[in-house]
Each structure stands twice: as C-alpha cells, then as structure tokens.
Amino acid sequence: MAHLNDCLSYRTGRLYVESVAAERIAREAGTPTYVYSARLIREKFQELDSALGNLPHLICYALKANPNRSLCRLLAKEGAGADVVSGGELRQAIDAGIRPGKIVFAGVGKTEDEIILALRSGIRMLNVESQEELEAVTRLAKRVKRPALFAVRVNPGVDAGTHRHVATGLPDSKFGVVPAEALRMYRQARTNPWLKAVGIHCHIGSQITRVQPYQQALDSVLKLASKLRSEGQHLKYLDLGGGLGICHDQEEPLPIPAFARMLRRELAAWPGLELVLEPGRFLVAEAGIILTRVLYRKRTSRAHLVIVDVGMNDLLRPALYGAKHPVIPGHSPQRPKIRLNVAGPVCESADMFARGEKLPWPKPRELWAILKAGAYAFSMSSQYNSRPRPPEVLVEGRNFRLIRAREQFEDLVRHER
Ligand SMILES: Cc1ncc(COP(=O)(O)O)c(C=O)c1O
C-alpha cells in the first residue's frame, strides 16, 4: 500500500508504528490519539542534512508544524535550530534545549514584549518584515541595551504554485517587503549602533514540490545580497525559509537531491554565507498518524458513510485547505473495498476526511488511522464543540510514551470565571 514505509507498516495484517502495534497504543492511550515515529523524524532530518553535505548550513525546525517539547528535543539532538513566529514558540524552543544562537524569529506582527524577549535571549536573528517593525526593533534594542541582530524578510514576488492560503511570496502577500524597500532598510541600519544586519530572509510558501520557485527566490535574494556586498555590507546568513513539500496524497514531493544540488551550485560563489532552511512539514508530517475508532456507519441516499471519533478540531487541514490525508484501516487491509465517505463528529459539514475513497466497510469500533498528521495537526487543533484535545504519543522502536496527556473536561473550563 502506498504511504507505508518501514516506520509504518502492516505486520501479519496489523498496523504497526515502528515495532509497536497501533491497537496496543489505542488500548492504552484511547482514541483519537496522535502518534509519532521518532525514527522517521530522525531519518527526515538526516536526509536533508546529508543532501546539503559540506555546504555551510543550519536546519531550523519550524515549530509551528508541531511544537511538542519531545519532538523539539529530538530534533535539537540531531543538530537542528528553530524557526519561531511568536514569543510562545521562542520560549518552547529554548525550553526544549535549542540554543538561542540557533533560533530565527519571523512574523509580521511581533509585539514589543516578543521583540524584547528575542533581544534578551540572544537569538541568531530577528527576521524583520516591515520598515515600522525595524523602527520598533531599534527603539527596543536601545531600551534594553542589546544591539539587534536582524535580517530583512524579502518578498521576492514568486508564485510557488501552492494553495493560496499557504503562498507567502506573491506580490500582494502580507509577508516581508519588496527588494527595493529591503535595500533601503539595510542602508538605513548601517549607521545605527543598535542595528546589526546579519542576514537576509525569504519564505515563499508551504508544500512546494518544485525546485524552480526556490531557484527564483534565491536569485532574487542573492541579487540583493550582491548589491549590499558591493556597498561594503557583508551578511552572514541566507535564510531561504521552509515550505519543502511532501507527498500528502498523490502529488510528487520536492526532490531533495535536486533541491540540494541547486543550493550547492548557487551558493558555491558565496563561501562566507551560511544557508538557513526552516522546514516544518518535511521533518514531521509523515512521521505522524492519528488513531481513530469507527463510531457509527450509515447509508445516505448517495453514499456509504463512516463516522469516526476524530474531528476537524483535531485535524483542520481538510476543512481549511481541502487537504487530503490518506485514511487506512488498522488491520486486514486486503478486505473487499467499497467507496466510502469518512466524517468526524463535529457539527460542521466540512468535518470530512475522505470522500468516495475505496476502503473496507468497517466493523463497529474498528481502529483506523489518518496519515501524514505529524505537522499542522495538533498545532492547529482547537477545543471546538468543547472537545478536549487528544494526547500525543512518541514511538521509539518497541517502546512508546505519552508526550502530551489527553485534555480533560477541566481543561475546557479552566480559564473561565
Ligand atoms: C517563515 C516560515 N518559515 C517556515 C515555515 C514552515 O513551512 P513548512 O512547514 O511548509 O516547511 C513557515 C510556514 O508557514 C513560515 O511561515
């Protein structure tokens, strides 16, 4: 079956994550439950790291994909830094043991408190997204007496060919500034003792499956870096963002060897420049699944419908972007299949995980799994319909452990007065 690998497989007809039976996890942790394979996360990190070879680089894990401390720690041990977009993520990254010198901080709406936290923590660089933000950074750097190390986030106006909700490099995007404005910002910073330009940043979108948009974005930022160099301003870091696409359903993933070849070729003429990448989804999406049980089965006038216990509050992407996540049975995948719709219990018609997919007609309480749910699943979850969030489990070989407990009723009302 497509989408399976040595970290997610059927053994004698039963679904396993590494060497742990999915049914065992479901019995002990209940359903729905997010389950992650530690080995696959390590393998993804190593795949990218070794493809980049001896090109000076730092892989900064984008915490927004999944900020769980255990996953951050695991990646930190592999050598990852972090890409954060809020004070909360910055604190989570430091808390997980990621050195501040390996953390970059982007976001169009950083608050004063967040900027001060970043300055005091001594992060690698603030990726500044507007002239007014640069002014705020200057003022706050002076106030806390810590010169600000920064990059300007450039919007290169590249169409990365992704869903419009995850494209960030288009001309009308809210992210970054156009190259001409970035140049003005760098020039203005030169004479300011509280500003130190150390890098240049861009991030053109998410789930990018072709090398060419990256090449275009790189051309644009290198042009600007050349101009700065000719004016005597030498940058240390070139941060090309994240967005490395995976195969969610049937699309081709970004070819990592070709991507890395392009980067090595283009950056060969820039020996003093360290590449920063900010992948989120690429590192953790495929390592995660959601275990869910079938609650009810019924026939509508048009379709066979299966209701499962995971809802759009636990996995928002299908409702938000029309994203597809494969759904597979927890055992005996070879049974006869029929076309099914799979829906969650949330009171919204958008709460659907499959439409017309070929799957076996399940038994009551049967265990199923929704795949590619390691990224933007838990991190986008909510308590909508007053549903406590599911727990998270990390599998390592024959062992597994809870890395976040199941929320309880008290968690729903804790902050109410
Ligand atoms: C600035 C920035 N960097 C990195 C990422 C990570 O993207 P992905 O998970 O697609 O790699 C995002 C995602 O929105 C982002 O906005």
Interval 105-162: pLDDT, tens: 999 999 999 999 999 999 999 999 999 999 999 999 999 999 999 999 999 999 887 7
195: part of which helix (H) or strand (E)? strand 195-201
| Token digits of residue 317 | 């992407």
pLDDT over 70 at 282, yes or no:
yes
pLDDT for 170 equals: 63
Given the CA of residue 241, which atom of ligand 1 is nearest to it?
A: 3
pLDDT over 90 at 83, yes or no:
yes
- Which tens digits make up the pLDDT trace of 187-219? 999 999 999 999 999 999 999 999 999 999 999
Residue 301, amino acid: S
CA of 277 to the centre of ligand 1 (A): 10
Identify the sign of the CA torsion 362, 250, 247, 174: negative
Q: Ligand 1 pocket: which of 126, 154, 203 to mutate (most atoms <8 Å of CB)?
A: 203
CA of 61 to the centre of ligand 1 (A): 9
Q: Whose CA is nearest to atom 4 of ligand 1?
A: 242
Strand pairing class (237-239; 14-17): unpaired
Query: What's the CA gap between 36 and 396, in Å, rounded?
Result: 9
Tell me the catalytic residues.
Answer: 347
Task: Return all residues near 308 (Cβ < 8 A) that are at least 6 apart.
Answer: 32, 292, 293, 294, 295, 342, 343, 344, 345, 353, 368
CA of 175 to the centre of ligand 1 (A): 12
- Which tens digits make up the pLDDT trace of 308-331? 999 999 999 999 999 999 999 999
CA 115 to chain centre: 22
Q: Ligand 1 pocket: which of 48, 60, 63, 64 to mutate (most atoms <8 Å of CB)?
A: 64
Query: What's the CA gap between 355 and 305, in Å, rounded?
Result: 9
- Which tens digits make up the pLDDT trace of 1-26? 677 888 999 999 999 999 999 999 99
42: part of which helix (H) or strand (E)? helix 38-52
CA of 249 to the centre of ligand 1 (A): 20
| Residue owning tokens 């392009």 | 262
Q: Whose CA is nearest to atom 13 of ligand 1?
A: 206
| Nearest of 126, 118, 66, 117 to residue 96 by alpha carbon | 66
Measured from CB, residues less than 6 Å from any atom of ligand 1 are: 62, 64-65, 83, 106, 203, 206-207, 241-244, 278-282, 375
CA of 243 to the centre of ligand 1 (A): 5
Q: Ligand 1 pocket: which of 61, 75, 83, 124 to mutate (most atoms <8 Å of CB)?
A: 83
Inter-residue contact 327 to 342 (CB < 8 Å): yes
